[in-house]
Amino acid sequence: MNSFVRTSRRLVIKIGSSLLTNDGQGLDLQAIQGWVAQVTALRHLGKEIVLVSSGAVAAGMQRLGLPERPKALHLLQAAAAVGQMGLAQVWESCFSEHDIHSAQILLTHEDLASRKRYLNARTTLVTLLQWGVVPIINENDTVATDEIRVGDNDTLGAMVTNLIDADGLIILTDQAGLFTADPRRDPTATLVREGRAGDPELEAMAGGAGTLVGRGGMLTKITAAKRAARSGAHTVIASGREPRVLERLAQGEAIGSELMAQTPPLTARKQWLADHLQVKGEITLDAGAIRALQAEGKSLLPIGVVAVSGQFERGELVRCVDATGREVARGLINYDAEATSKILRTASEGIEAALGYVDEEELIHRDNLVTLG
């Protein structure tokens, strides 16, 4: 197989903490200079590059002399605040040696949950790429709380991939790729060279967090590939210890594990619905409604809803589940929770009799709904 990276024009590259901090010993200037040289080489091939850079907390730990990653949120935020300064300075200094401008972008889930802020972030990133700038993105650990935290930079990388319609996501780690089992524990484990993003068997192969420095493990990388595939992007998970790994991928060499997108990309709006909103409530659908949504691409009518839970307002995001609780769709609902509960199992022509008014005939219009496999 040939790497998809060779034919990709726009790439998101996520570099793990261990690769930037020499396994947590502080920012590795020589390593970062090497990554910048490789990114510069890709740009000379006409590729647009966005970097998702881990390392802020690890860099702060080193500067502050902390022996292990803090667990309390306020300590993590303080370490990130200290480390982010050094991280941005090093990237900027290294890129300037190649006459390339860089830009720091700090994001939280909340930035991507608001449609307006989502579009603003997209416009800013696309503009920077048009200007020839390399955006360097990290989660805003300094202000993020559990409620607005993305959670790890693998997930952030996938969300940014969707945000800017990138062709591919490259996740660089301290492992050679995805193995059939944990190679540190099972000597018979073999490298998965190619797979389908979203394949449940791949998730079963992945283990837990890999190091004390980073936050993600192989499972987060597999999940990130699944997310990236929603916008049609392929993912490669490869070792950042491989010499000139980015340049070799760009030349078509197959390195690591390639997880290929198999489904047509969602529209930008439906991608946003699938990925970036906080869910406010839940409605349970009957089999007929699920079939109408998934097989026929129809809107959701109140007659197909059998139960409602949570408190939500008109226009907020709700999760649509089947009788077992499995999420089958999500969308922006046209009625609040109280009104929705009054029109369950009601035909559209009966809404006015049940409520005394009609806002919309559909509970969720198909343009504001995305089905999930």
Predicted confidence at residue 211, as pLDDT, reads: 42
Give yes or no for a contact between 255 and 236, defined as CB atoms under 8 angstroms apart.
yes
Percent of the chain with pLDDT over 70: 93
Assess whether pLDDT exceeds 80 at residue 110: no
Span 125-152, average pLDDT: 76
**Can you give the pLDDT at residue 268?**
67
For the chain, the domains span 4-266, 279-371
Q: Which residue has the higher pLDDT, 264 or 147?
A: 264
**What pTM was computed for the model?**
0.78
170 contacts: CB under 8 Å, gap ≥ 6? 5, 11, 12, 13, 14, 235, 236, 238, 246, 249
Spatial CB neighbours of 269, under 8 Å, sequence gap ≥ 6: 367
Give the model's confidence band at 127: pLDDT under 50 very low, under 70 low, under 90 confident, else very high.
very high
- Per-residue model confidence (pLDDT) at position 357: 93
Could you report the per-residue pLDDT of 295-337, keeping only the tens digit for each? 999 999 999 999 999 999 998 899 999 999 999 999 999 999 9
Q: How far is CA 102 from the centre of its chain?
A: 22
Q: Kindly report which listed range (69-78, 165-174, 240-249) carries the lowest average pLDDT score.
A: 69-78
Average pLDDT over residues 46-72: 89
Q: Are 19 and 25 in contact (CB under 8 A)?
A: no
Q: How many CA atoms lie within 13 A of 236 on its CB side?
A: 29
pLDDT for 22 equals 77
Section 61-76 average pLDDT: 86
Structure confidence at residue 214 (pLDDT):
39
- Assign 274 to helix, strand or coil: helix
Residue 123 contacts residue 129 (beta carbons within 8 Å): no
Mean pLDDT of the chain: 88
Q: Does domain 279-371 have CATH number 3.40.50.300?
A: no
User: May I ask the CATH architecture of the domain 4-266?
Assistant: 3-Layer(aba) Sandwich (3.40)
Instruction: Give the pLDDT of residue 1.
Output: 59
The mean per-residue pLDDT over the stretch 133-149 comes to 68
Residue 228 pLDDT > 60: yes
HSE-up (13 A, CA, CB side) for residue 244: 9
| Whether pLDDT at 216 is above 70 | no
The tens digit of pLDDT for each residue in 155-214 reads 899 989 988 989 999 999 988 999 988 777 888 889 999 999 988 888 887 754 444 333
Residue 19 has pLDDT above 70, yes or no: yes
Nearest-angstrom CA–CA distance, 271 and 18:
31
Asked whether the beta carbons of 265 and 231 are under 8 A apart, the reply is yes
